[in-house]
Structure 1
Amino acid sequence: MIDVKDKVFKIYKVLEDNKASDIKILYIGDLTVVADYFIIATGNSDTHVKALTDEIEKKLMEEGILVDHIEGYNWGKWVLMDYGDVIVHIFQQIEREFYNLERLWADAKEIVLDNLV
């Protein structure tokens, strides 16, 4: 069984390796029971958002980690991947600016990878 911090790192690394931009990790565990972490990233097109989603799912599946639920994949503007304790949001820029999850979760602690909670 993989530790939640390792899961966060693996997802971050896949996003970074596949040219996602403005990747943010928010620790929300003190604010909600929904999850412990949000990972928010931006893709530059429908195709890029879908490719990022596919690559995360593939790499984590190789580690025996299955996604609980994916929403928004067919649309490709905002994909939500639910890994239980980690929720991944992959947006296109316009949708990310519109929904502004960072503002909605302003009380969350932004995590730097070498300082995971």
Structure 2
Amino acid sequence: MDLISKIEMISNALEDRKGYDIKKLDVRNVSPMCDAFVIVSGSNKNQLQALCDAVEEVCSDNGIKLKEREGRAESGWILLDYSDIIVHIFSSEMREFYNLDHTWKDASIIA
């Protein structure tokens, strides 16, 4: 599965669980750590966990292996590292605090 197909699959799973302000960034030209970020916000810890579960399920079902998971819904942020794609799941407060949208402003937006 190519990168764009994986990103769309992850984005669809996030949309299905009512994640909002989803940003898909191509970071290949600005970072060696991965090819893309998917950033999403959730409104409460239960939704953050549901977003995380949805991504883990769809990736597992499609043979995409989770390399590392950090954070917890209770802390307001979860990071899912799939090697080429890193998914950042935030509460609105934590998203504003970490401000990845600004930090990675030089990355290309994936439509």
TM-score range, shorter chain: over 0.9
**Identical-residue share of aligned pairs (%):** 39
Name the amino acid aligned to 1:106: K
User: Partners of 1:109 and 1:74 in 2: how far apart?
Assistant: 28
Q: CA contact under 8 A between 2:79 and 2:87: conserved in structure 1? A: yes
Match of 2:12 in 1: 13
Superposed CA deviations along residues 53-96 of structure 1, whole A, max 9, x for unmatched, are 01110111111112111100253411000011100000000000
TM-score by length of 2: 0.95
TM-score by length of 1: 0.90
**Alignment RMSD:** 1.0
Determine helix, strand or coil for the equivalent of 1:23. Answer: strand
User: Partners of 1:63 and 1:83 in 2: how far apart?
Assistant: 12
> Deviation above 6 Å: which 4+ runs of structure 1?
none
- Structure 1 portions without partners, runs of 5+: 113-117
The alignment of Structure 1 onto Structure 2 pairs a total of residues equal to 111
Over 3 Å counting, the alpha-carbon distance change for 1:46 and 1:74 in structure 2 is closer
User: Partners of 2:74 and 2:39 in 1: how far apart?
Assistant: 17
